Amino acid sequence: MFLGRKEELSELENLYQIKKSSLIVIYGRRRIGKSSLIHEFCKNKHSYTFEGLEGEKTPAQIKHFCQLLQEQFADPMLHDTKFNSWQAVFAYMTLKISENNKIILFFDEFQWIAAGQSKLVSLIKYFWDNEWKKKNVMLILCGSIASFMINKVIKSKALYGRINLEMNLKGLKSFEVFEMLRRKRSIDETMRYLLTLGNVPKYLEEIDLSKSFEQNIERLCFNSKGVMVREFDRIFYNQFREAKNYLAIIKYIKDKIRSKKDISKNVKIKSGGGLKLYLDNLEMAGFVKSYVPFGHNKNSKLKKYRLSDTYLSFYFEYIEPNIESIIDYDIKGIFQARIKSSMNIWLGFSFERFCLNNANIISRIMGFESQVTGISPYFGRKNEKFQIDLIYTRSDKVITICEIKFQMGEIGTKVIPEIERKCKLIKIPKGFTIEKALISRFGPCNSLRDADYFHHYVSVDDMFDENW
């Protein structure tokens, strides 16, 4: 059963209904549901799907593409025809495309079809300009290697000005995850899955709804046959050619925020173009996020980097240190014996990351999304931890300072002195007003509400409201 993605389906449908051709580029990490989205969109429409083969060169890609042509075009002549070039393949397709009806051409895992090269993009540009654009075609280029899709497709000179829609497909929204679990587990338990596995549909499909959070995590992550045990290898090594350098960076920033200078010194890569390229590719892949401290522009030398992918964070914290016990010795009960006691503290840090990754939704809940001009945590030059979890700078001359808590139970008045101390850390520009917000698991207790200290309260329940 397909759930969610209403906004994405609406965007695609709007383009489909227009009586002219359109070119769409979709990218996002593996397992995020790109193919499922397009297959859902293509239901009851005239469409053809072609998927690339991982790691194969151009001749193998053409051969596989032609096999899919035979299956979908049902043309007997194709059995006796061999195409030796993409030019010949696309020329044949052009002859078969009718001008009367809208046709969807879906090229899935496009970076593999192109064999990692930009030559195919230039050829597509030629056929688009001279043939397909005139024939009411909806061409969808979809890929899981973000660096290729952005640099070689979206930013290519060949397709400049021709792309009608760019879509960076993210994970499911919180309420969509709740619906995916069919409301059989509580909101709080659903949030723990989000803080451990992330909002990746493929991971969430593995949850057994008849079992608790602890039972599922034990089964999926700490069992020799658990699907999440080897998932890191599957999503990481196919993404990067020089995986060793990327892995060194990831491991260095896995539990602390680091500057480019510190990363360069530790992994022994010059902080110039080489390291920047690695960091940019990690960001495009959705594994890493950069933060500029409050009051600085995006090119600030104080920019720092942090692991942003939820599953990777959990993997490095708990799965990798126990990988020998899990795979080689098949030891049972690792989660209960080694992990559970430290999990609450880690979930608190993961909740901070979740809030930073969903800062736009949180601002919408608090009612000032359209006024936001800047989002960042606050940290000084030498700080390896955020001193203030989240700060919004707003066009209406307001600075909203957020405290993030993931503790059991409602938050009491003891939080007030803590926030007061943090507010003194930052210099507020003249003419600005400070607002204070509390983002927490279960919200404030009555005494904190009565104190009338915070301007905004956001609880986990609020984040699961589909109106946001």
What pLDDT shows up at residue 381?
61
Shortest CA distance to 118 belongs to which of 149, 81, 145? 149
Tell me whether residue 333 is exposed, middle or buried, using C-beta atoms within 10 angstroms of its C-beta: 0 to 12, 13 to 18, 19 or more.
Answer: exposed
Q: What is the pLDDT of residues 191-237, one digit of tens each?
A: 999 999 999 999 999 999 999 999 999 999 999 999 999 999 999 98
Q: Is the pLDDT reported for residue 289 higher than 70?
A: yes
Q: Is the pLDDT reported for residue 366 higher than 70?
A: yes
What pLDDT shows up at residue 175?
95
What pLDDT shows up at residue 149?
97
201 or 101, which is more confident: 201
Q: Is the pLDDT reported for residue 379 higher than 70?
A: yes
Q: Is the pLDDT reported for residue 131 higher than 90?
A: yes
Q: How far is CA 99 from the centre of its chain?
A: 37
Band (pLDDT 50/70/90 cuts) for residue 269 is very high
Tell me whether residue 175 is exposed, middle or buried, using C-beta atoms within 10 angstroms of its C-beta: 0 to 12, 13 to 18, 19 or more.
Answer: middle
Report residue 180 as tokens: 């995916």
What pLDDT shows up at residue 244?
93
Tell me whether residue 35 is exposed, middle or buried, using C-beta atoms within 10 angstroms of its C-beta: 0 to 12, 13 to 18, 19 or more.
Answer: middle
Average pLDDT over residues 352-377: 96
> Which residue has tokens 């723990």?
192
Cβ pair 228, 311 in contact under 8 A:
yes
Q: Is the pLDDT reported for residue 268 higher than 60?
A: yes
What pLDDT shows up at residue 98?
81
Query: Which stretches within 74-136 are classed as H helix?
Result: 86-96, 110-113, 119-130
d(CA 417, CA 49): 59
Enumerate the CATH 3.40.50.300 domain ranges in the chain, comma separated.
Answer: 6-168
Phi, psi of 349 (to 5 degrees): -65, -35
Q: How far is CA 334 from the centre of its chain?
A: 29
CATH no. for 6-168 = 3.40.50.300
Q: Which letter, b or e, does each residue of 44-61 get, where b requires 16 or more Cβ atoms within 10 Å of its Cβ?
A: eeebbbbbbeeeeebeeb
Q: What is the pLDDT of residues 19-58, one digit of tens each?
A: 999 999 999 999 999 999 999 999 999 999 999 999 999 9
Report residue 234 as tokens: 């599957």
Q: Is the pLDDT reported for residue 262 higher than 60?
A: yes
Band (pLDDT 50/70/90 cuts) for residue 297 is confident
Q: What is the pLDDT of residues 381-405, one digit of tens each?
A: 665 566 888 999 999 999 999 999 9
Q: In sequence order, what are the beta bridge partners of 22? A: 138
What pLDDT shows up at residue 383?
54
Q: Is the pLDDT reported for residue 272 higher than 80?
A: no
Task: Please report, to the nearest 10 degrees, the dihedral formed by the alpha carbons of residues 269, 272, 275, 278 taken in order.
Answer: -150
What pLDDT shows up at residue 271?
83
DSSP classification of residue 444: B
Band (pLDDT 50/70/90 cuts) for residue 370 is very high
Task: Please report, to the nearest 10 degrees, the dihedral formed by the alpha carbons of residues 200, 206, 210, 216 taken in order.
Answer: -90
Shortest CA distance to 37 belongs to which of 51, 52, 26, 22? 26
What pLDDT shows up at residue 384?
54
What pLDDT shows up at residue 377?
87
Within 8 A by CB and 6+ apart from 336, the residues are: 214, 218
Domain 173-344 matching CATH 1.10.150.20: the answer reads no
Q: What is the pLDDT of residues 143-185, one digit of tens each?
A: 999 999 999 999 999 999 999 999 999 999 999 999 999 999 9
Amino acid found at 120 = L
d(CA 276, CA 464): 36
Q: In sequence order, what are the beta bridge partners of 107? A: 50, 141
CATH T-level topology, domain 358-463: Trna Endonuclease; Chain: A, domain 1 (3.40.1350)
Enumerate the CATH 3.40.1350 domain ranges in the chain, comma separated.
Answer: 358-463
Task: Please report, to the nearest 10 degrees, the dihedral formed by the alpha carbons of residues 268, 281, 318, 354 taken in order.
Answer: 130
| Residue positions counted in the chain | 468
The pLDDT mean for the chain works out to: 94
User: What single string gives the DSSP state of each residue in 396-435?
Assistant: TSEEEEEEEE--SS-B-TTHHHHHHHHHTTS-PPTT-EEE
Residue 333: HSE in the Cβ half-sphere, 13 Å Cα cutoff? 2
Cβ pair 265, 285 in contact under 8 A:
no
Cβ pair 363, 392 in contact under 8 A:
yes
Report residue 189 as tokens: 């338990």
In the sheet with 388-394, reading across from the earlier edge strand, the strands are 372-378, 388-394, 398-405, 433-440, 456-459
Q: What is the pLDDT of residues 301-328, one digit of tens each?
A: 888 999 999 999 999 999 999 999 999 9
d(CA 361, CA 355): 9
